[in-house]
Structures are given as structure tokens and as C-alpha cells.
Amino acid sequence: MQLAFRWYGPDDPVSLAYIRQIPRMTGVVSALQDCRPGEAWPREKVRALRQTIEAAGLRFSVVESIAVHERIKLGLPGRDALIARYAQSMEAVAAEGVPVVCYNFMPVFDWLRTNLAMPQPDGSTALQFDQKEMEGIDFSEGTQDLPGWHAAYAGEEIAALRAAYAERSEEDLWENLKYFLERIVPAAERTGVRLAIHPDDPPWSVAGFPRIIASGAALKRVTQLVDSEANGVTLCTGSLGADPAEAARLPETIRSLAGRIHFAHMRNVRRLGERSFQESTHPDGDVDMAAVMEALLETGFDGPARPDHGRMIWGEEGLAGYGLYDRALGAAYMNGLRDAALRKAT
């Protein structure tokens, strides 16, 4: 396991200098934040980002993410040109030595939360999601204030996208994902990049938009759409763990995906009710993190893994879920789990 840390670039309140001080931290997970979906990433910008990371004594180990354009997800005319630009972005990443590209196929929205600062009994705050609260959000004015999403859509844009997705079944979305992978995986093979699809977060349909990468079985199906080692997955314990059935079978899911997990997000959640959860400390929640680590090591996983969202603790202010202190504690916990699992195995 290669310990990595998410960094949002020079404007991130968490500095690379602080990230480097986390024990055993070697990698950085980042992206070109100013490139919109459908734009080809310029190699010189990827190079500048890599050089900044390496100057801090770290490695640019994962791109998260190169966004997939909505026209590709919907199977609309023009997708071939957009896929070609996606391949160009991947080539730029590969040319700068970044081995893994994490991406997702979630319609319109990325990860979603309804509360970015849910007060905890110890005085910290955590991310929280509640389906009923989500259903009460009025999208007629757009998404400017929607927690967990950094892009803004006007009300009419959301209405048009909802109408477009309403015309497509889940199998249509699977076909569109297959179409994308059939064209992008060969490019990944040529460049040596490993693709790692991220499960939907939360793993069910929200705001009237369907989600299909919502289970371990769905991740397995992705790898079978194009059977290539380059076509892999990101194991996100928190995304899958929001579903109690998926949380219980995470070790089984990991074993079923042996050799195709190219990246891991280690995060814990505590369910508050049906389709309602909060993100907990890494050691305490409904996901058995020790069993997850044992399964990862048992299957030979040696890719990048990062402590995912953390609480805001010790008075820290910054990007919700992406403060330094609690994620650093999560990294330390991951180190402990790894050491214990390796000792148990021998």
C-alpha cells in the first residue's frame, strides 16, 4: 500500500509541506482544477503540477479526476470528439509519469452531502447526508449552494439534464459506459495508465438522477465490460459502506476484484437511518476497516490509498472533509491497520 493524500493545488489550505510530515506519506492525489469537463488537459500544466509536488518531496501518484462529460454519459452526438479529448488528457498525464486516473460516471453531480458541518458530541463537525433533506432541495434556482459540488448549474440547465436522463434507462447508461470504455481503455493500455472508476456517492439515485455504480457487483461488471488490467476500480469504503448490505460484504467485494483495484479511499461512515448517514472517525463506524485492510493485502493490493474525508477538528478551517488534522489521523490509523494485518499474515 502506497500512502497518498488528496491535495487541491496551490489554493488548498493544506500545504504540501504539512502533507509530507505525515508518517509514511509518499504520494499526492490531485488534478487540474481549472480544466472543465470536455477540455483536453495541456501537458505543460500537468508537468507544472507534478514539479510542484515533487519539489515538496512527494510523488504525483493519482489524478482525481479527469471528469467525464455529460454528453458521453448520455450517449449524445459529439461524444466521440469528447472521448478523443479525454484520451489526450490521459496521454498528458501518462507522459508526466502519473500511473492512475480515478474517474466517475455519476450523472451531473459528484459526491453529495446535505450538511457539511454536522456538530459532533466531541465538538468536531462532520459531513452528513440525508435523502429526505436532499429531496427537499429546490433546484429551480440552480445548484450554487449545494453542498459537496463545486460546479454551478442554472435552474434551466438542471431541468434539461433531468429531462435527458429521464429518457434513459439504467441499461442505457451501462451501454454508454461500455461505449466510453471500449474507446478509452485501449488508449490507457498504450500509455500505461490504469483507470479506476469510483463508485457513486451516495450509492443510490439522488435528485432525480440515476446512479449505476452503486455496489460491489456493479464494480465487477465494469471490469467485465472491457476485460483489461487497465480497466479497474477505486475501492471507496465510505461510498459502498453507506449501504448496510454493501458494508457487510466489503471484504468479499475486494476479493472478487483482486488485481483490478488500482486505488483505494479509506473512509468510515455511521448510518443514521434509511439512506441517511454521517462520516465518522476512521476507526469508528459501520465499516470494519481492519477486515478491509486484511482483504486488500491478502489480494496483493500495492497501489495508492488515501485517507478519505475527515472531520474538522482542533479549530481547523478549510475545505469541508479535506482538513489536515483528521485525515492525518486517518493515515496513521491506516498505517497501524497495515502493520497489524502484515504481522497477522506472518
The residues carrying an active-site annotation are 198, 236, 265, 308-309, 322
**CA 289 to CA 268: how far, in whole Å?**
8
Residue 142, all three cell numbers = 440552480
CB 259 within 8 A of CB 231: no
Q: How many residues does the chain have?
A: 346
Which segments within the chain are labelled E, that is strand?
A: 2-6, 27-30, 59-64, 100-103, 115-119, 125-130, 194-197, 231-236, 261-266, 269-273, 276-279, 304-307
Laid out side by side, the sheet with 125-130 consists of 115-119, 125-130, 276-279, 269-273
The SS3 assignment for 118 reads: strand
The residue with cell 449501504 is 243
CB atoms within 10 A of CB 78: 11
| Residue type (1 letter), 346 | T
CB atoms within 10 A of CB 152: 11
The strand pairing partners of 270, in sequence order, are 278
